[in-house]
């Protein structure tokens, strides 16, 4: 899964990297500890133009009675999207990219209750392009007309790098797949599904970080600094 990530780069730099127009409605603060239900940047295609806008992290399907459901839908398994009512409509028409500077994952430590967190990033230092889905919720009952744009991050089986610490990882799209994935007119779901695979192991590097990241209130670049791992866990720097 992907339950925490880093989005600390300047928004204009992120938008430029993804060749997207940056929304002028509001800018998000840099975060080294993005948590579920936070607002996140999402890249999507609108009328043939890429846009980067803030979205609520946690997909709220258009048919939902309450946006609270989004807290349980920060991730979606890439396997069988078309068969799941919560995701099938977005998979057909509302695919997105969630930019990230890196993400965190936790590994069990033999003989210890506490888990060891790791920071995972691209080996080349470039931003990550998580495959995602987005939705527009227009409210129901007394909330009708309020509107909420939300997104989820797709996950898949781990590659060799990630398998040492977790059994899932975010789908990371290479630049060559961005146009195909974002095109809302692309109806070849079988071909799109073939994009949702683990990234090559050499794409990612990871290192252990402070347990401070476990508290969503903690912020700052120190959260991604390497630390000495607890005995019995791995770290490749």
To the nearest 5 percent, what fractions of the chain are helix, strand and coil?
A: 20, 30, 45
Residue in 201, 139, 208, 198 with CA at minimum distance from that of residue 172: 198
Alpha-carbon distance of 86 to 150, in angstroms, equals 13
- Interior CA angle at 149 toward 199 and 175, to 5°? 25
Which residue out of 79, 105, 126, 231 is catalytically annotated? Answer: 105
Q: Give the residues across from 6 on adjacent strands.
A: 102
Q: Can 105 be counted among the known catalytic residues? A: yes
Burial class of 81 by CB neighbour count within 10 A (0 to 12, 13 to 18, 19+): buried
Which residue out of 2, 29, 126, 231 is catalytically annotated? Answer: 2
Q: Hey, CA dihedral for 184, 188, 191, 193, is it positive or negative?
A: positive
The string of DSSP letters for 165-214 reads T-S-EE-B--GGGHHHHH-TT---HHHHHTT-SPPPGGGEEEEE--GGGG
Contact 178, 44 (CB under 8 A): no
Catalytic site residues?
2, 105
């Amino acid at each position: 899964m992907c339950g925490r990530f880093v989005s600390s780069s300047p928004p204009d730099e992120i938008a430029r990297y993804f060749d997207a127009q940056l929304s002028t409605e509001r800018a998000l603060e840099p975060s080294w500890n993005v948590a579920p239900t936070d607002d996140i940047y999402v890249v999507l295609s609108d009328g043939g133009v890429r846009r980067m806008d803030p979205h609520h992290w946690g997909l709220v399907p258009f048919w939902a009675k309450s946006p609270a459901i989004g807290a349980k839908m920060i991730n979606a398994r890439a396997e069988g999207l078309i068969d799941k009512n919560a995701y099938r409509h977005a998979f057909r028409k509302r695919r997105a990219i969630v930019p990230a500077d890196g993400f965190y994952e936790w590994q069990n430590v033999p003989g210890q209750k506490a888990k060891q967190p790791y920071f995972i990033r691209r080996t080349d230092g470039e931003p990550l392009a998580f495959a995602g889905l987005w939705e527009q919720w227009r409210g129901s009952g007394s909330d009708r007309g309020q509107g909420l744009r939300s997104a989820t991050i797709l996950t898949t089986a781990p590659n060799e790098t990630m398998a040492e610490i977790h059994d899932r990882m975010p789908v990371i799209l290479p630049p060559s797949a961005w146009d195909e994935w974002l095109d809302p007119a692309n109806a070849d779901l079988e071909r799109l599904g073939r994009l949702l695979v683990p990234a090559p192991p050499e794409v990612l590097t990871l290192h252990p970080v402070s347990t401070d990241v476990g508290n969503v209130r903690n912020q700052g670049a120190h959260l991604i600094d390497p630390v000495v791992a607890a005995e019995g866990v791995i770290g490749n720097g």
